[in-house]
Amino acid sequence: MFGVVGHTEWVDFAVCERLPAPGEILHGRELFSVAGGGGAVAAVQLRKLAGDGTFFLTALGDDPAGGQARDDLLGRGLVLEAATPLSTPQRRAFTFLTDDHERTITVLGERLVPWRRRDEELAWELCDGAQAIYFTGGDAAALRAARGARVLVATPRAREVIQSAGVQLDVLVASASDPGEGVEGFDPPPKHVVLTAGAEGGRWTGADGTTGRWSAAALPGPPLDAYGCGDSFAAGLTYGLGAGMAIAPALDLAARCGAHCLTGRGPYAGQLTRA
Tens-place pLDDT, residues 230-242 = 999 999 999 999 9
- Phi, psi (deg, nearest 5) at residue 131: -70, -40
111 part of a folded domain:
yes
- pLDDT value at residue 201: 95
The pLDDT of residue 86 is: 84
pLDDT for 185 equals: 83
Domain CATH for 134: 3.40.1190.20
Rounded Cα distance between 174 and 125, Å, is: 28
pLDDT at 178 over 80: no
pLDDT of res. 182: 80
* Residue 119, in any domain of the structure: yes
Q: What is the pLDDT of residue 244?
A: 97
List the domain range (segments joined by +) for residue 56: 2-19+31-262
Please check whether residue 131 lies inside any domain of the structure: yes
Is a pLDDT exceeding 90 seen at residue 180? no
| Peptide bond preceding 189 in cis form (omega within 30 of 0) | no
Which of 3, 107, 114, 109 has its CA nearest to residue 55? 3
Residue 25 within a domain: no
Residue 184, pLDDT above cutoff 90 = no
Work out the mean pLDDT of the chain and round it to a whole number: 96
Q: What domain count does the chain have?
A: 1
Q: What tens digit of pLDDT does each residue of 3-27 get?
A: 999 999 999 999 999 999 999 999 9
Q: Does residue 275 lie in a domain region? A: no
Does any domain span residue 187? yes
- Is 126 domain-assigned? yes
Q: Average pLDDT, stretch 50-55?
A: 96
Cα separation, 190 vs 183, whole angstroms: 9
CB 27 within 8 A of CB 110: no
| Dihedral angle of Cα 163, 193, 167, 185, to the nearest 10 degrees | -30
Tell me, what DSSP letter sits at residue 255? H
| 274 domain-assigned | no
Q: Is pTM, for the whole model, over 0.85?
A: yes
pLDDT exceeds cutoff 90 at 155: yes
pLDDT tens digits along 208-256: 999 999 999 999 999 999 999 999 999 999 999 999 999 999 999 999 9
DSSP 189: P
Contact call for residues 16 and 96 (beta carbons, < 8 A)? yes
